[in-house]
Amino acid sequence: MYQVTFSDQSMGELNKLDTLSQMDLVESITQLTPDDLHDVGEELGKISRKGKTYYRLRAGEYRIYFEVKEDILFTHVILDKNSMADFIFRTKLPFKEEQAIEQHQSFWQYLESLMK
């Protein structure tokens, strides 16, 4: 079982939700196991950037981007499903095209701007 921590942006997004929605969202990430992280699939994706591995969890109306640091899942950002990141994954672009879009600097600048 992992400990889960949230960035300021993630906490801000959680605080906008009603209590039941908050519980559902937090439950979706706290239930992840090492096996889940090893066998990514439809609900959980993996991307690399500057030598770091980030995961994307599809949780209802939201997408949770997080990183594994030892036994901690650090949630960098929570985005609604209509964000640019959601569009990339929702359209199920072929892997090579999807990877190229993920590596485009504007995609990462957008995600980093949400953390500030």
- Give the pLDDT score at 113: 76
Residue 116, classed as helix, strand or coil, is coil
Q: What is the mean pLDDT of residues 23-52?
A: 86
- H or E, element range at 10: helix 8-15
For residue 94, the enclosing domain spans 3-115
Q: Indicate if the pLDDT at residue 9 is higher than 90.
A: no
Residue 52 tokens read as 């770091």
- Give the pLDDT score at 91: 55
Question: Could you tell me the CATH number of the domain that includes residue 88?
Answer: 3.30.2310.20
- H or E, element range at 6: strand 3-6
Q: Indicate if the pLDDT at residue 116 is higher than 60.
A: yes
Q: Which of 99, 17, 30, 86 is nearest to 58 (CA)?
A: 86
Q: Give the residue, 47 or 116, on which the prediction is more confident.
A: 47
Domain total of the chain? 1
**Contact between residue 5 and residue 75 where contact means Cβ atoms under 8 Å apart:** yes
Q: What is the mean pLDDT of residues 9-33?
A: 92
**Contact between residue 66 and residue 29 where contact means Cβ atoms under 8 Å apart:** yes
Rounded distance, CA 23 to CA 26, Å?
5
Instruction: Please tell me the pTM assigned to this model.
Output: 0.71
Per the listing, tokens 């300021």 go with 8
Q: Indicate if the pLDDT at residue 97 is higher than 50.
A: no
- Give the pLDDT score at 26: 93
Residue 110 tokens read as 């957008």
